[in-house]
Amino acid sequence: MPTLQNKLLPFRDYDEHEVLNLFSLNGTGLAGTFVAFETHDPSNADGWTTQAVGASYDGVTSLRYEVKAKVKVATSGMSKYQVAGITLFDTREVDNNGLLLKFNPQRKAELQCVLSGEAVPVLKRGLVTLSHDAYEGTPAVGNVGVIGNAGKVLSITPGSVVGATATGMTTGWTSAHVIGRFISSSGSQHGGFALFEINV
């Protein structure tokens, strides 16, 4: 049985007005993944995919609907202006038993996930509890977060953040990379968790 565990723990504190519900994830991914803007053409906001809902038959059209505005998994070095936020739901096709969720909307709702092509809620400002799979480095109270590898947040000390010079940005992390701050160290339960305040 495949292990599908999102990277967000239940405690969260945010306003629904801080959640974007306009973009679908290009691919699949777990909740608690930081994503970046990829495409958004307001004149091409949604439409049909090339994927059939069920079996394909001659003379029958049974295609899935898709939100064309896309986000992608954020990569190391991205600035906060490129980052849309953190996903609150998984984007997946199957459940923990490998069964297709497109045929079981109740199970999809229970798992708090969306199918590929459906809009995934993305939080841009608020407080979340990250599991150990969602961050890199060692969280500590007052550390700031920048985008690390594979949509994770990297914990760095505020002293690691440098400013701009007259000739442009200096090397290393700048305030333009900071996407929030840790307000706790890592807890010992659940493999190590941390409270993170997002602000992109």
Segment 111-132, tens digit of pLDDT? 999 998 999 999 999 999 999 9
pLDDT at 63: 74
Q: What is the pTM of this model?
A: 0.85
pLDDT score of 2 more than 50 = no
Q: Are strands 153-156 and 135-136 parallel, antiparallel or unpaired?
A: parallel
Long-range contacts, stretch 90-93, CB < 8 angstroms, 24+ apart: 90/4, 90/6, 90/28, 90/29, 90/30, 90/31, 90/114, 91/24, 91/25, 91/27, 91/28, 91/29, 91/115, 91/116, 91/118, 91/120, 92/4, 92/28, 92/116, 93/28
Segment 127-164, tens digit of pLDDT? 999 999 999 999 999 999 999 999 999 999 998 898 64
Segment 45-55, tens digit of pLDDT? 667 666 666 66
